[in-house]
Amino acid sequence: MSKQHKAPPYSEEQTTEWLAWLAYNMQCNDQIVFQIENLQPNCLAGEQETKLYLLLTRTLWGVFIGLILGSSGTAIFWPSADLSESLGIGLILGLFF
């Protein structure tokens, strides 16, 4: 059996550009060791990316909290509601808050 060599998914130039970007942002944030959980929103390239990040993170948190509060709130205040109604109410509330 012979090994088949696949083409790398990124060119050497793309890899070098990405690593340079990463090094620059780590330096700006006084980081020595790269940890993905330490990536900051200020690393995003443009205003459009920053707005998209804010929209997505806030929407996801709203939906998450809405589902939790909606399902527990309807269990307390509307015990006859089934699970799909509870989650639906929570989803709607989460999207608005």
Mean of pLDDT over the chain: 81
Q: Average pLDDT, stretch 66-80?
A: 76
Are 34 and 15 within one domain? yes
Are 48 and 67 within one domain? yes
Are 35 and 49 within one domain? no
- Residue 42, pLDDT above cutoff 70: yes
The two structure tokens encoding residue 13: 């130039």
Is residue 17 left, alpha or beta, with left meaning phi > 0 and alpha meaning psi from -120 to 50?
A: alpha
- Given a contact cutoff of 8 angstroms between Cβ atoms, the answer to whether 38 and 22 are in contact is no
- 3 occurs within a structural domain: no
Q: Among candidates 86, 96, 94, which has minimal Cα distance to 62?
A: 94
pLDDT band of residue 14 (cuts 50, 70, 90) is: very high
State residue 12's pLDDT score.
93
Are 29 and 58 within one domain? no
Are 35 and 53 within one domain? no
State residue 13's pLDDT score.
95
The two structure tokens encoding residue 65: 């909290």
